[in-house]
Amino acid sequence: MSSDRIEVQHTQHAFLVAWGWFGEYIGLIRRILAVPLKQKRYQHTPQGKVLEFLVAILGGMRHLQDISRSAHPLDKDLAVAQAWGQESWADYSGVSRTLSGLSWDEARQIAQELEQISQPYLAAELDLLRSAGERIRYDGDLTGLPVSNTSRTYPNAAFGHMDDAIRLGYQAALVSLESPTYGRLWLSIAHHPGDTVSCTQAEALILAAERRTGLRPRRRTEMLRSRIQAFEQQIVQIRGRLETQKRLVQQAQERLEEVEQQELERQRQLDELASQYQAKKRLERPTSRLAQARQRLQASAKRLQSRQKAWREAQRRLDKTATRWEGQQTELSVMQQRLTRFEQENVANPERVEAEFRLDAGFGSYENVALLIEMGYEVYTKPHSHRVVTFLRQQVDDQTAWVRVGANAELVAWSKMPLKGCPYPLDVALERFYTGKTRKHSALFHFGEDPVTLNPPAWFEHYNGRQTIEAGIKESKQVFYLHHIKVRSEPAIYLQECCVIFAANFIRWASHWLASQAQPDESSLDVCKLGIKCQVQVAAHVSAQVIRNSEGRLLKFSEHSAFAGKVLRSPGGGYLPPGRPKFWFLMPFLIKSHLIAQPLR
């Protein structure tokens, strides 16, 4: 040990160094540097700049220029660069140019590498859930990423609902998994224009979750088959109505043509009589033939207007029915194709799981609820239309027994209630709550095996457990600044979104890994007690000494930092299995050595 060369560096970004060690451990650095990018290398590789971009996100930097212009610039911190396998970092302008030059294929390839790096951790959590007999629980949401309303430099940005206002920007569709070890893991993020609405994205969220986990529940094909049979009967009725209305339109057309011909004949007769009267210089008297002919023509004109109106009304009804019939034909075709696909998926799915999806009201249209049911999920959501709330309020009176479910909330619930427009009966609850002196109402939907109507407080609490994804979105914006779009190229914007959700997962994994390397003594920093916000905004920006030798690495925090007197340890070199290496018994020697005890400069 004494012959080993000990290296000491100073850093102002302690946890960025530690996360670099973890990035090396899981192969992140190696895989990102191996991604082929069609850009020239000058002093720094384009892959290294992409890695630097990820590190900047891990450090919670609001703007790309903070890499070079913050109080302690990241691009001047060689200890961080070397921890991430780089000799040095590029200036932020070089990072910006590299990101702007990425193609969609390159951005997606980098995102795919991040997914593959995440897969072992995701698989381990899924194994824990399944071995414990727990249901897999997904949460989905759509969040806005607004930009300046006057900007013209963000490609494919569009106006849509963001932050309770109409804003220009993008929408990000997110899915998270409730994790027994990490609390929450992000599964996917999808990039959309700002005018994308939630109700169009439910199926995409489900498929994204299934693609990432490789697991899906048994499709409820028997329910879909029954729905198709009932729908076919409706189509037969609509078809009969369509044929009847076609006949009525034909009759109205014939009667209209009859009156049109009559009017032409009476107009001819009137013209002839008028010519005769004019030639004989006769006066038109009220009872004369000419006056009577004029009256008959006027009656025909009125009859023509009436029959034109009748024809238009018959044609309107026919067009409405025909449109409905065509829409039903399309819907039937979609359901039949879905049934075929679901039957094939059930055959190819021997490892069926129990899974649940929680979504907010934006996704709660009847069609989306039916789709989730048919795909085999336990469904927790709210109705998309407020008319459901209006209908439910009509079902209660002063004698209704409300159940208190929160400090200012009460519920009344109905089991398996049929709703007009919804193909399946649902468990439904009406909620009333108070905001100050104002009383408001909302509703809950559920479908599945959970007896939610027997325990309204548990239903209320379980649905509101989806606040985990809302907290995740808040974290992504307030800690990793997802909504501060750092680039103006759409592939790079998508890559930023992917890096943010990866960073949130990465830090959770790293916390457990760093905790597993700690010595059971007072000098070791208890990383598990540090929240994500604290790690990003504090620990990633404190000063420390970075000590290395051939057997290991150590961070000793500055006495002027928030973690004075504490240390973090990491195994030396390479991709080692979890566990405490045997050489750590020597690290107290390093801590007490004169070299380490020197104050930071």
Please report which confidence band the pLDDT of residue 284 belongs to, taking 50, 70 and 90 as the band edges. confident
CA distances from 441 to 237, 434, 435, 501 (A): 38, 9, 11, 34
Residue 399 counted as domain residue: yes
Owner of token pair 């309770």: 164
Query: Number of helices and strands (H, E) in the chain?
Result: 18, 14
Q: What is the pLDDT of residue 574?
A: 39
For residue 1, is pLDDT > 80?
no
Q: How far apart are CA 341 and CA 346, in angstroms?
A: 9
Residues 318 and 394 occupy one common structural domain: no
Q: What are phi and psi of 171, to 5 degrees?
A: -120, 140
Q: What is the pLDDT of residue 592?
A: 39
% of residues, the chain, pLDDT over 70: 94
Residues 328 and 372 occupy one common structural domain: no
Residue 53 counted as domain residue: no
Residue 97, helix vs strand vs coil:
helix
Q: What is the pLDDT of residue 42?
A: 85
CA of residue 189 relative to chain centroid, distance: 6
* Boundary of a domain, candidates 447, 465, 483: 465
Residue 52, helix vs strand vs coil:
helix
Q: What are phi and psi of 105, to 5 degrees?
A: -60, -40
Q: What are phi and psi of 530, to 5 degrees?
A: -95, 125
Tokens of 308: 């034109």
What does the longest C-alpha to C-alpha distance in the chain come to? 140
Residue 420 counted as domain residue: yes
296-324: b or e for each residue (b if 16 or more CB lie within 10 Å)? bbeebeebbeebeebbeebeebbeebeee
Query: Going by C-beta distance under 8 Å and a sequence separation of 6 or more, which residues neighbour residue 323?
Result: none
Residues 246 and 318 occupy one common structural domain: yes
Residues 451 and 414 occupy one common structural domain: yes
Residue 267, helix vs strand vs coil:
helix
For residue 115, is pLDDT > 80?
yes
pLDDT in tens, 535-567: 999 999 999 999 987 778 889 999 988 999 888
Query: Going by C-beta distance under 8 Å and a sequence separation of 6 or more, which residues neighbour residue 488?
Result: 100, 153, 154, 155
Number of folded domains that form the chain: 2
Judge whether 521 and 212 are in contact, CB under 8 Å. no
pLDDT in tens, 173-228: 999 999 999 999 999 999 999 999 999 999 999 999 999 999 999 999 999 999 99
Residues 290 and 367 occupy one common structural domain: no
From 2-16, 96-110, 563-577, the region with the lowest mean pLDDT: 563-577
Q: How far apart are CA 345 and CA 348, in angstroms?
A: 5
Residue 521 counted as domain residue: no
List the domain range (segments joined by +) for residue 244.
226-337
For 387, counting Cβ atoms within 10 Å of its Cβ (0-12 exposed, 13-18 middle, 19+ buried), the class is exposed
Residue 206 counted as domain residue: no
pLDDT in tens, 517-528: 877 777 888 888
Residue 554 counted as domain residue: no
Residue 438 counted as domain residue: yes
Q: What is the pLDDT of residue 241?
A: 93
Average pLDDT, the chain: 90
CA distances from 207 to 101, 213, 272, 305 (A): 30, 10, 77, 56
Q: How far apart are CA 240 and CA 304, in angstroms?
A: 29
For residue 580, is pLDDT > 50?
no
For residue 575, is pLDDT > 70?
no
- What is the CA angle 96-97-99, rounded to 5? 65
* Boundary of a domain, candidates 276, 304, 337: 337
Residues 287 and 387 occupy one common structural domain: no
Q: What is the pLDDT of residue 572?
A: 62
Residues 300 and 389 occupy one common structural domain: no
Residues 330 and 369 occupy one common structural domain: no
Q: What is the pLDDT of residue 508?
A: 95
Residues 333 and 400 occupy one common structural domain: no
% of residues, the chain, pLDDT over 90: 79
Q: What is the pLDDT of residue 226?
A: 95
Judge whether 20 and 86 are in contact, CB under 8 Å. no
Query: Going by C-beta distance under 8 Å and a sequence separation of 6 or more, which residues neighbour residue 53?
Result: 64, 95, 99, 486, 495, 496, 499
Q: What is the pLDDT of residue 4?
A: 61
Judge whether 208 and 215 are in contact, CB under 8 Å. no
Q: What is the pLDDT of residue 579?
A: 36
Residues 302 and 251 occupy one common structural domain: yes
Q: At what angle do helices 490-516 and 14-25 cross, to 10 degrees?
A: 90
Residue 48, helix vs strand vs coil:
helix
Residue 321, helix vs strand vs coil:
helix
Residues 314 and 396 occupy one common structural domain: no
Residues 322 and 235 occupy one common structural domain: yes
Residue 455 counted as domain residue: yes
Please report which confidence band the pLDDT of residue 587 belongs to, taking 50, 70 and 90 as the band edges. very low
Identify any residues that bridge with 357 across adjacent strands, giving them in sequence order: 138, 379
pLDDT in tens, 440-496: 999 999 999 999 999 999 999 999 999 999 999 999 999 999 999 999 999 999 999
Q: What is the pLDDT of residue 585?
A: 32
Compare 554 and 586 and report the one with higher pLDDT. Answer: 554
* Boundary of a domain, candidates 419, 437, 465: 465
Instruction: Tell how strand 426-435 and strand 409-417 pair up.
Output: antiparallel
Query: Sign of torsion, CA 47 49 52 54?
Result: negative
